[in-house]
Amino acid sequence: MPSARVPGRRTFVAGAGAALLAGGAAGGARAAVVDGPLPGFHPALKDALTFPLAWGTSPLRDFRAWRRAARATVDEHLLVERQDGVPFAPRYTGRSEGEGYTRELVTVSLTRYERVRGALLTPHGRGPFPAVLLLHDHGARFDIGKEKLVRPWYDDTRLASARAWAQTYFGGRFVGDELARRGYAVLCLDALGWGDRGPLAYEQQQALASSLFHLGSSLAGLMAREDERAAAFLAGLDRVDARRVAAVGFSMGAYRAWQTAALSDRVAAAASVCWMTGLKEMMVPGNNTLRGQSAYCMLHPGLARHLDIPDVASIAAPKPMLFFHGGLDTLFPAEGVRVAYDRMRAVWRACRAEERIRTRTWPELGHVFTRAMQDEVFGWLDDVL
């Protein structure tokens, strides 16, 4: 989601400096940096991206072998090592009763670096329950993270912000609380920079990402590893049926949901609302990704030399997967969504599991997760878990 605080399109090279950078003496030379900003030679860079590890392009014809190779390639480009050996050491606080479910705050070690606090909702009744790892969006709003999706019973100040967010994007509904009422155990944690792990200022994102790169790490890679570990923690709870764990998210959370399904065997299904596109179709003048900042949360350097965005999501095949798009969503051009959907459906078809992937564009909607969309996701979860 774009932020009003973000500058619009800019051209960064002008006058004599532009001539020098563009090649100077050559008449009619293209600007070195064009609207977006993009390098003037960006079409050549796009043409060079052939995604040689994509299913159907890769020489690997056995799907399981391809899946292992593709996942290993993604793992390498996360720049953050696996954290499987770190004890979760959960600590539970803030217990409270909701309408048909129990609420708790849980603090866990997702990595060896720090402890992370999240909201855990458990339905009343006898488990083990199906479960949802709920992944929050970006939205250029950092004072709340997990609170965007789970009503913050523990903080009245955050409650006001959370209600406003839910009203804007979720039809006034707290998605996590609704899932718990419907019989799902729900876990939602803050990503680095949000809620208890922030608040980060919008303009600080590139500096944070740069610092992590300098330290041999990655902001997006850390988020991916933490989401993997969160799925493992949730699946390992006695109250949860480990075979029936799904990842669900909106916007950046949607990206995180299909990414976690691709990387984690603990996730049996995923629902992704408003984050899917082909890379080349996204990298066009004016697209929000070109502004930087929030893009670093979803940037694994060098991975595009091997796999396109839908290729990474396809590592999850043949798991049940749902992808929704708003036809008026300006963040993801329609052509990019079409390319991605077609490519993913082809992979599930190759696995003889095309019925397990659901893609839908809601032509009248923008970048939102409305109640109607939620109800369809909830019904789909009931069917596949």
Is residue 57, in this structure, part of any structural domain at all?
Answer: no
Q: Which amino acid is at 140?
A: A
Asked if residue 207 has pLDDT above 50, the reply is yes
Instruction: Indicate whether 122 and 190 sit together in one domain.
Output: yes
Distance of alpha carbon 209 from alpha carbon 71, whole angstroms: 23
Distance of alpha carbon 222 from alpha carbon 227, whole angstroms: 9
Distance of alpha carbon 307 from alpha carbon 313, whole angstroms: 10
Instruction: Indicate whether 156 and 242 sit together in one domain.
Output: yes
Q: How many domains does the chain have?
A: 2
Its pTM stands at: 0.92
Is residue 73, in this structure, part of any structural domain at all?
Answer: no
Instruction: Indicate whether 136 and 8 sit together in one domain.
Output: no
Mean pLDDT on 170-183? 98
Give tens-digit pLDDT for 46-66.
Answer: 999 999 999 999 999 999 999
pLDDT at residue 17, rounded to an integer: 33
Is residue 79, in this structure, part of any structural domain at all?
Answer: no
Q: Which two tokens stand for residue 258?
A: 């299909």
Interacting residues of 151 by C-beta distance below 8 A, sequence separation 6+: 98, 159, 162, 174, 176, 177
pLDDT band of 34, cuts 50, 70, 90: confident
Is residue 84, in this structure, part of any structural domain at all?
Answer: no
Distance of alpha carbon 315 from alpha carbon 67, whole angstroms: 6
Task: Give the neighbor-by-neighbor strand order of the sheet with 115-123.
Answer: 91-97, 101-109, 115-123, 185-189, 129-135, 240-250, 269-273, 321-326, 357-362
Instruction: Indicate whether 29 and 97 sit together in one domain.
Output: no
pLDDT band of 13, cuts 50, 70, 90: very low
Give tens-digit pLDDT for 143-162.
Answer: 999 999 999 999 999 999 99
Mean pLDDT on 238-245? 98
Asked if residue 327 has pLDDT above 80, the reply is yes
Instruction: Indicate whether 117 and 208 sit together in one domain.
Output: yes
Structural domain boundaries, residue 14 = 1-48
Angle 95-171-162 from CA coordinates, rounded to 5°: 40
pLDDT band of 5, cuts 50, 70, 90: very low
Instruction: Indicate whether 214 and 265 sit together in one domain.
Output: yes
Is 292 buried (19+), middle (13-18) or exposed (0-12) by CB count in 10 A?
middle
User: Does a cis peptide bond (omega within 30 degrees of 0) precede residue 199?
Assistant: yes
Distance from chain centroid for Cα 73: 18
Mean pLDDT on 341-361? 98
Instruction: Indicate whether 287 and 167 sit together in one domain.
Output: yes
pLDDT at residue 20, rounded to an integer: 29
pLDDT at residue 16, rounded to an integer: 31
Is residue 191, in this structure, part of any structural domain at all?
Answer: yes
Asked if residue 293 has pLDDT above 80, the reply is yes
Q: Which 3 state secondary structure label does DSSP give 63? A: helix
Q: What is the CATH number of the domain that holds 278?
A: 3.40.50.1820
Asked if residue 219 has pLDDT above 70, the reply is yes
Instruction: Indicate whether 157 and 257 sit together in one domain.
Output: yes
Mean pLDDT on 291-298? 96
pLDDT at residue 31, rounded to an integer: 61
Instruction: Indicate whether 241 and 115 sit together in one domain.
Output: yes
pLDDT at residue 33, rounded to an integer: 74
Is residue 63, in this structure, part of any structural domain at all?
Answer: no
Instruction: Indicate whether 38 and 96 sit together in one domain.
Output: no
Instruction: Indicate whether 1 and 150 sit together in one domain.
Output: no
Q: What share of the chain has pLDDT > 70, as a percent?
A: 91
Is residue 67, in this structure, part of any structural domain at all?
Answer: no
Q: Which two tokens stand for residue 35?
A: 């609207």
pLDDT at residue 37, rounded to an integer: 84
Mean pLDDT on 86-107? 98
Q: What share of the chain has pLDDT > 90, as a percent?
A: 90
Is residue 337, in this structure, part of any structural domain at all?
Answer: yes
| Closest among 9, 331, 4, 2 to 138, alpha carbons compared | 2
Instruction: Indicate whether 256 and 372 sit together in one domain.
Output: yes
Give the number of other CB atoms < 10 A from CB of residue 92.
Answer: 11
Q: Which two tokens stand for residue 19?
A: 């001539």
Mean pLDDT across the chain:
92
